[in-house]
Structure 1
Amino acid sequence: MKLCVMVQLCALLTLTQEAPGREKCACELSSREKLFPHEKLRIVKANASDCNSNITPQKTVELESLLLGLERRLAQLHKDVQVLEKEDDGELYGVLSLYVIENEMTEKLLKCNKDLNTTVAPTEPPQGTCPRSRLLNVTGPRVYTAGEYPGSYSYGAWGRDPRPEQGKESWYWLVMMTSNNRYAHYVRLYSSLSALIIGVSVPGNIQIHSSNPATNTIQGPNNVLYGGALYYNCYNQDAVCRFNLTTKAVTTLQLPKGTRYNSKGNFCHLEECYPYTDLDLATDDSGVWVIYTTNQDYGNLVLSKVEEGEPPKLGQTWRTSVYKQAVTNTFMACGVLYATRYINRGMEEIFYSFNTVTGTERFNIGIFINKMSPNIQALNYSPVDQMLHAYCDSNMVSYKMLFG
């Protein structure tokens, strides 16, 4: 037994010693993939470095705003295309062709009138204080943004200064009711529309008072900025306050005895009233206006011009026959007062106008505004760019106004 084991071990030792040494081998690797583009990577790195040094924060803000605007606009364009597709009549003329036919027919009719020596009706005179002031339509929205505080502060107002200080022509202002949807104590400024959309405020807040509410702070959302000063309903007063953003001085304009205030003469519709909207401040090409109501006028709208001065004074006053609580908002354009009413959650109607030049009223304007949210807490017209700025349930929306 032991001898057998010894023989196996000796055989194993012999085989191990006689085995040849392990030879070295080399393999040639052939890859079908392209070589790593080191040179392209170097160029990309160089370009990225140049971009970081050349693109300023201001350009970044503008690009981000542009992209946001395009995103909003594409959705609207998609809806418009869908409408046009539904109006496609196959072998008949399309919408654009109908416009061409309309123009051609108009030209033939004019020629016929001329040939027959007929008297053409005179052109409708301007409605107000501007050369072209007959409001034809409101289109848009052109801007729709939640701004810097999305979902916060349901009541407020925003817009542009129709008579801005030098160097502030592109600035926008924002006033939010930061206390109980009723009161505010500062104005927030933005150097451009792009800055407002993405929420970059420069120079930031300009305070009227350190606490809120307090004497001379803002009551209600219907405010305007004109000539570097904010006009608003003074806290707990039937008066207009003017806050100079440069000097921080506040002056007041007392309204007539019997003026309704402290949420006793609000804008309303069937479902609700908008609290503390007794006084509505408005601007147009001619200056500042205040829209309100009094006990003597039985709740009908009253319009007064605010004359500049130290302190400001109440100018000419007009009385209307439209009941204020049947109105949801008002604004001024070219010396004409316009009033809106609630149609449904998606539509508002400009139904009424009062011409301060002719003294005429109209109740059949029939211009509709597509709403982005159910309620419009404030409307401000900007004669700088003919835009109507709306504050809607904490969102900022603007529409283009078309005049004839």
Structure 2
Amino acid sequence: MRALFSVLYPVISITVFGLYPSMTIGPKEGWQVYSSAQDADGRCICTVVAPEQNLCSRDAKGRQLRQLLEKVQNMSQSIEVLNLRTQRDFQYVMKMENQMKGLRTKFRQIEDDRKTIMARNFQELKEKMDELQPLIPVLEQYKTDAQLISSFKEEIRNLSMVLAAIQEEMGAYDYDELYQRVLKLDRRLRNCMGKLTCGKLMKITGPVTIKTSGTRFGAWMTDPQASQRNNRVWYMDSYTNSKIVREYKTMEDFVANVVSRTYNLPFKWEGTGHMVYNGSLYYNKYQSNIIVKYSFETGQVLAQRALEYAGFHNTYPYSWGGYSDIDIMADELGMWLVYASNQNAGNIVIAQMDPDTLEVQKTWSTEYSKRNAGESFMICGTLYITNSHLTGAKVYYSYSTKTSSYEYTDIPFHNQYFHISMLDYNARERALYAWNNGHQVLFNVTLFHVIKTEDD
């Protein structure tokens, strides 16, 4: 084998270019290229050159050379096939690599989506827990209410047994006698109440929320001149741009929203200082200082009169605005108008009004700015003014029409819903009616009374 390579070395040359792709080596003169191989990028990696076929053709060594050349050609072809396969495999590997990259991206996206979904599900669960959290004290209250109801049932059962025993012991004559004693006691109590003179406001308690309805501003009232059996309620939502008045037969119907009648007034109202007095509605006509008296019975306007010098349409409203320039009131002594004028430098003016003719009978000028007042109401001829319509309001100032004098007061009350747009006194109920931020509420008042005796 060593001798064979010694013989062939002068006549055949295999040149490898793989390490030097930039070099170009040509065959020597009288030699020819038999085969060459290239890589995937087209670079030559080997070249086979040999003498021309007519050289040494008759030599036995030439036959060996030709056989060797055939083997080299076969090797070259195998190398080309291998190169093609390598290129195809390389492309397949590149394709697989791209697919792997795509899968890696998809897996990363799925992982991110999983985290997002888990976060969203966690947030939904948290929101559900936040919604359920307030129900815990409610459920606790239900437990308390259930115990209280059971206690009530037990008390009613015991009371029923006691009443049944008393009824068995009492005859018909005894019952009638007891009933007459109750009526007599009621007459004595009413007679005593009739001897109470007008009192001075000492305390405000409550409120009691009767209903939640309507807009943020409005007015509701009962008739202080009506009989004890007449408990109709009137309801006027909003402070302007409306003419609809709703009537309810009783306070229970008002709470249940059972409307008995609806009135369409001939003129729109302005503000919330309306008053129902002796079967008629008194209100401020829209964009004017005119007072209108409207009869619920006939559905007609009974009287109209302009309130001289009175500001209107947000010229001198209460601190909350709402065209509350003119406030119509009633107390134990009759009907009143509260407003402000340029002549009194925007300060509050009190006027006593004839309920039939709407004529002003007498006026009193105060030194309290109408725009700085939250609301006001009359009790026994004295005007009481609050210092704000918001939280922390209190009765801060009072003016007596009897003595034409004023004093600063400090009577707090609970502004439960933070915004009062109507506050009126009802002499029959001895209570304050208020519209508190869409809630209809009642305040109880405590008056300092002087009882007249037979010697007075």
Superposition TM-score, scaled by structure 2 size:
0.53
Could you tell me how far apart the structure 1 residues matched to 2:424 and 2:341 are? 23
1:267 aligns with: 318
C-alpha contact 1:143 1:399 (8 A) present in aligned 2: no
Could you tell me how far apart the structure 2 residues matched to 1:285 and 1:159 are? 16
2:305 aligns with: 253
Q: How far does the alpha carbon of each residue in 1:206-227 deviate from its partner, in whole angstroms, 9 at most, with x for none?
A: 2213xxxxxx321111111001
Could you tell me how far apart the structure 2 residues matched to 1:329 and 1:130 are? 27
1:174 aligns with: 235
Could you tell me how far apart the structure 2 residues matched to 1:343 and 1:380 are? 13
1:359 aligns with: 404
C-alpha contact 1:226 1:287 (8 A) present in aligned 2: no
1:206 aligns with: 263
Could you tell me how far apart the structure 2 residues matched to 1:338 and 1:253 are? 26
2:340 aligns with: 293
* 1:376 has 2:434 as partner: no
* Structure 1: tracts of 5 or more residues without a match: 1-70, 76-128, 210-215
Could you tell me how far apart the structure 1 residues matched to 2:322 and 2:429 are? 30
- How far is the alpha carbon of 1:279 from its aligned partner? 0.5
- How far is the alpha carbon of 1:366 from its aligned partner? 0.7
Distance 1:266 1:344, change over 3 A: closer
Matches within 5 A, 1:210-229: 216-229=267-280
* 1:349 has 2:394 as partner: yes
Q: Which residue type is aligned with residue 192 of structure 1?
A: T
* Structure 2: tracts of 5 or more residues without a match: 1-140, 146-194, 449-456
Give the number of aligned pairs: 256
Superposition TM-score, scaled by structure 1 size:
0.60
1:137 aligns with: 203
SS at match of 1:377: strand
Could you tell me how far apart the structure 1 residues matched to 2:394 and 2:341 are? 25
- How far is the alpha carbon of 1:141 from its aligned partner? 1.1
Could you tell me how far apart the structure 2 residues matched to 1:130 and 1:299 are? 36
Q: Match for 1:161 among 207, 223, 231? A: 223
Q: CA RMSD in A?
A: 2.2
Q: Which residue type is aligned with residue 229 of structure 1?
A: S
Could you tell me how far apart the structure 2 residues matched to 1:140 and 1:171 are? 22
Q: Which residue type is aligned with residue 379 of structure 1?
A: L
- How far is the alpha carbon of 1:344 from its aligned partner? 4.9
Matches within 5 A, 1:2-401: 131-146=197-212, 150=213, 152-164=214-226, 169-177=230-238, 181-202=239-260, 204-209=261-266, 216-250=267-301, 251-256=303-308, 258-268=309-319, 273-309=320-356, 311-342=357-388, 344-345=390-391, 347-363=392-408, 365-401=409-445
Q: Which residue type is aligned with residue 381 of structure 2?
A: G
SS at match of 1:197: helix
Rg (Cα) greater in structure: 2
Could you tell me how far apart the structure 2 residues matched to 1:376 and 1:328 are? 8
SS at match of 2:393: strand
Q: Which residue type is aligned with residue 255 of structure 2?
A: I
- How far is the alpha carbon of 1:379 from its aligned partner? 0.8
Could you tell me how far apart the structure 1 residues matched to 2:340 and 2:416 are? 29
- How far is the alpha carbon of 1:145 from its aligned partner? 1.8
Q: How far does the alpha carbon of each residue in 1:174-201 deviate from its partner, in whole angstroms, 9 at most, with x for none?
A: 1112xxx423212211122121122112
Could you tell me how far apart the structure 2 residues matched to 1:175 and 1:130 are? 33
C-alpha contact 2:274 2:327 (8 A) present in aligned 1: yes
Could you tell me how far apart the structure 2 residues matched to 1:234 and 1:338 are? 25
